[in-house]
Amino acid sequence: MSRRALWCGLLIGLAPVPCGAQQAGAVDSLIRDRMEKLHIPGLAIAVVDSGRVVWTGTYGYANTTTRAPVTDSTPFQLASVSKPVTATILMTLYAAGKFGLDDDVNRYLPFRLRHPAFPDSVITIRQLLIHRSGIADNMIYYGPFWSKGNGDVTTPLGTYLREYLTPEGKNYSREKNFLKTAPGEGSRYCNTCYALLGYLAERIAGRPFEQLSRDALFSPLGMKETAWFARDLGQSPPAAPHRHQADSGFVTLGQNGFPDWPAGTLRSSLRDMSRFLVAYVNGGDGTTVIPAKVIRTMAPDDFHLGFLTWFLDGTRTRDILYGHEGGDTGVRTYLAFTHRGRRGVVVLTNGEAGVKELAQEVLIRLSPSATRSPGN
């Protein structure tokens, strides 16, 4: 099953943009072929060019057991693509002058946090954003949460972090919860860091992070099919994660949930993530929902100036994208953009195969401005 839009819908007041039928048909065939080879049950994709959506496609099933089709309003778990969203929400407070990037996190926490091997070194918000805080993900602790779909967690964010990061906590480990390098010196991808960023945003704003998310970003951008927990999606059930087995085909899994939820449990639809992506490539959305200062700081036009949260991805056409992949049990996603031509792509799936290469290929094929501008 597949659906594709040769005219994109109205998003944030933008006019629909036509796509050539032959070009879109070739991309449609590419996606369906790749889904079959990679065993992806459901997929939703959008391409942005010149600051507006030029193509969307929805394919397959949100749930292979019920045969519910994927639509542009189907929420998918974003996995680690949640991290740029968490950072964006936090950074709206930065743009408002509520904190400094190099502030000691203890300025805002109700408990004291120090690296046990380097107690005189402060841990800063900037270090958390770029995975250089000295905090590590303890797989003995996280493994039971990350390895299977346990559903939404109920432990308060602050409680989990206190138990994990302070010597008095029941889940504290001096050796496993911290790197052997001092804050600012060593780099390792860190989910705990983004849970802590969500909690810092909560403390600075004075309200729960899920409420702050709705107030600062989701509601103003019209992201009605977006929530941190499956229980909060109401009449929009999220796509079911899936695993493919050689002998039995697709297996429908339960919804994922874990205590470090600002790092990976956000559910959002293609329609909503297109709004988020359009706001980013336009340097803000024109209504200051995402202040331009946030985007300039996190993803400057010249990436040599330094950036936050994002990773740099190169394409076969030598474009450099700000990108982020997401992967969890039964879930893979990808979000990327470049300021050149104000282009971007988002892909959401409920399977376990990587989709970055596919996303980049679709972006190249369906971005007219890519052929009009010199390479980086």
174 and 274 belong to one structural domain: no
Question: Is the pLDDT assigned to residue 132 strictly greater than 80?
Answer: yes
pLDDT tens for each residue of 259-290: 999 999 999 999 999 999 999 999 876 667 99
Task: Print the domain residue range for 104.
Answer: 85-207
> How many domains does the chain contain in total?
2
> 139 pLDDT band (50/70/90 cuts)?
very high
In a domain, 254, yes or no: yes
Q: Which of 141, 123, 269 is nearest to 197 (CA)?
A: 123
Banded model confidence at residue 148, pLDDT cuts 50, 70, 90: confident
Judge whether 335 lies within some domain.
Answer: yes
Q: In the predicted model, what is the mean pLDDT of residues 341-362?
A: 97
Q: Are residues 316 and 227 in the same domain?
A: yes
What pLDDT, on a 0 to 100 scale, did the predictor assign at position 367?
82
How is residue 232 written in tokens?
Answer: 């909060």
Do 281 and 137 sit in the same domain of this protein?
Answer: no
Quick one: pLDDT at residue 371?
52
For residue 301, give the nearest of 267, 342, 272 by alpha carbon: 342
Question: Which of residues 207, 230, 250 is at a domain's end?
Answer: 207
For residue 228, is pLDDT > 50? yes
Segment 155-174, tens digit of pLDDT: 999 999 999 999 999 999 99
CB of 31 closer than 8 Å to CB of 358: yes
Where does the pLDDT of residue 23 fall: very low under 50, low under 70, confident under 90, or very high at 90 and above?
Answer: confident
Backbone angles phi, psi at 21, to 5 degrees: -65, -40
Q: What is the DSSP string of 278-347?
A: HHHHTTS-SSSSS-HHHHHHHS-SSGGG--SS-EEEE-TT--EEEEEEEEETTEEEEEEEETGGGEEEEE
User: Span 189-196, mean pLDDT?
Assistant: 98
User: What's the one-letter identity of residue 250?
Assistant: F
pTM: 0.92
On whether both 141 and 247 belong to a single domain, the answer is no
Angstrom CA distances, 264 to 259, 315, 329, stand at 10, 25, 11
3-state secondary structure of 125: helix
Quick one: 217 and 312 in the same domain? yes
Residues 151 and 89 both lie in one domain: yes
How is residue 66 written in tokens?
């019920």
Are residues 218 and 355 located together in one domain of the fold?
yes
Quote the CA–CA distance of 15 and 67 in Å, as a whole number: 33
- The answer to whether 78 touches 348, Cβ cutoff 8 Å, is yes
Q: What is the pLDDT of residue 288?
A: 75
Dihedral of the CA atoms 18, 22, 24, 30 (nearest 10)? -170
The CB density around residue 28, as the number of other CB atoms within 10 Å, is 19
Last residue of a domain, one of 172, 207, 242: 207
Residue 376 lies in a domain: no
**Dihedral through CA 87, CA 274, CA 261, CA 81, nearest 10?**
-70
Produce one character per residue of 148-165: b if its CB has 16 or more CB atoms within 10 Å, e if not. ebeeebeeebbebbbbbb
CATH code for the domain of 229: 3.40.710.10
If one counts every other C-beta atom within 10 angstroms of the C-beta of residue 97, the result is: 7
Kindly state whether residue 351 falls inside one of the protein's structural domains: yes
Q: Pseudo-torsion of CA 177, 180, 186, 192, nearest 10°?
A: 0
Residue 356 lies in a domain: yes
Q: What is the pLDDT of residue 25?
A: 85
Which of 179-193, 239-253, 281-295 bottoms out in mean pLDDT, i.e. has the lowest? 281-295
Give the tokens for residue 164: 């994990």
Query: Contacts by 95-104 with C-beta closer than 8 Å and gap 24+?
Result: 95/291, 95/293, 95/294, 96/291, 98/204, 98/205, 99/125, 99/200, 99/204, 100/125, 101/125, 101/126, 101/129, 101/297, 101/308, 102/126
Listed residue (346, 344, 359, 194) closest to 269, CA to CA: 346
For residues 244 and 329, membership in a common domain is answered with yes
Domain identity same for 176 and 72: no
Report percent pLDDT > 70 for the chain. Answer: 91
Same domain membership, residue 234 and residue 136: no
The set of residues, in sequence order, having a beta carbon less than 8 Å from that of 66 and lying 6+ positions away, is: none
DSSP state of 51: T
SS3 24: helix
Does 333 map to a domain? yes
- The sign one gets for the Cα dihedral 153, 105, 141, 138 is positive
Grouping H, G, I as helix, E, B as strand and the rest as coil, residue 25 is helix
Residue 8 has pLDDT above 50, yes or no: no
Q: Do 340 and 252 have their domain in common?
A: yes
Residue with tokens 């039971």: 144
Domain boundary among 159, 175, 207: 207
